[in-house]
Amino acid sequence: MVERILADRVREPSRTIGRGQASVNIALCKYWGKRNRELNLPFNSSLSVTLPGMDVETELLPGSGDRDEIELCGPGGTLPDDAADRVSGFLDLFRPRPDFRFRVRTRSSVPPAAGLASSAAAFASLVRALDDLFQWRLGPRELSILARLGSGSACRSMYRGVVIWHAGVRNDGMDSFAEPLNIGWEALRIGVVMISASRKGVGSRPGMDHTVETSPLFACWPETAERDLAAILGALEARDLERLGVAAECNALCMHATMIAARPPLVYWTAQTVTAMRTVWELRRAGCPVYFTIDAGPNLKLLYAAGETAAVRRAFGEIRECAPLAANE
């Protein structure tokens, strides 16, 4: 597939350094489960908002020696053992000759592997850096397909704002790409409740494979997610926070339910996750319209309107807050 995208662009680097940047994205309709593991082709389409300010920057240079040099810096300290191998395996797709080596320097403002989609931003920024180094000058759709090959949800980090990732139906994945939807919503806030920034027990990649293989409830997921996506899109177009929040919350819980039913079970929640969920429901009962989503980790991401920031901070303390759709209006 890479060949179909790069065509006659495979060549030695055009520049001495390539640079790329991308932000993490939070899925409101989740990606969970691959119909093709090698190409990261999903069972269902998904939808996210990109969080400006939670960024990964990558510098890419031709390397020397007999292996890639991969340096990943971020607030979370060292990356998982397999992160460098995974990056190197991804770079295999792009070497102009078999003995070509890369130097990769990545700086992240996001703790890795805490369910904050740092790998999505990392692979999206790496693909931008590749495009810059080799001067491919690919369009964003092609870049999103290349990013998908590194980490499925990375294709959504190729854009700002609301992004849809079309699952596609083709076996070669050429119709499984991300595209932005031009939806502005000045008042929408996303707040990250950091319950734990430590490494989660099971990464989302093995987690979703395990769920697909063993969860007796997974068969019901893809169709549910497609229905949720339509509801979430409608709510975003109508700027209807309640419809958006309810649909996103249910979609996240449905995804977690498929994991909880996996065998052995996969429970990303901690006691504090359940406490935080209950706090959100208490806030709603008290008249404060706030909703949550949860990725493959213990942390909650809250959805609310700008006017509720003070109430949310009273309930949750310091949260990291974004206005992800303000720039699109």
Choose between 136 and 268: whose C-beta lies nearer to a copy of itself: 268
Look up residue 153 and give its DSSP letter. G
| Angle, vertex CA 51, rays to CA 89 and CA 277, nearest 5 | 100
Q: Does 220 bind a copy of itself (CB under 8 A)?
A: yes
Contacts of 295 (CB under 8 A, 6+ apart): 26, 27, 30, 115, 116, 117, 204, 252, 301
What type of residue sits at position 106? T
One of 37, 75, 275, 307 touching a copy of itself (CB under 8 A) = 275
C-alpha to C-alpha distance for 141 and 147, rounded to whole angstroms: 10
Q: How far is the CB of 220 from a copy of itself (least distance, A)?
A: 5
Q: Do residues 268 and 115 make contact, with C-beta atoms less than 8 angstroms apart? A: yes
Choose between 134 and 221: whose C-beta lies nearer to a copy of itself: 221
Q: Does 231 bind a copy of itself (CB under 8 A)?
A: no
β-strands 188-193, 320-322 pairing: antiparallel
Which residues inside 295-314 make contact with a copy of itself, applying CB under 8 A?
A: none
Q: Does 288 bind a copy of itself (CB under 8 A)?
A: no
Which residues inside 238-267 make contact with a copy of itself, applying CB under 8 A?
A: 246, 249-250, 253-254, 256-258, 260-261, 263-265, 267
Number of residues lying near a copy of itself (CB under 8 A):
31
Q: How far is the CB of 191 from a copy of itself (least distance, A)?
A: 20
Distances (CA, A) of 4 to 43, 90, 93, 172, 174: 23, 16, 12, 10, 9
β-strands 300-305, 188-193 pairing: antiparallel
Choose between 84 and 253: whose C-beta lies nearer to a copy of itself: 253
List residues binding a copy of itself (CB under 8 A).
Answer: 216-217, 219-221, 223-224, 227, 246, 249-250, 253-254, 256-258, 260-261, 263-265, 267, 269-275, 277-278
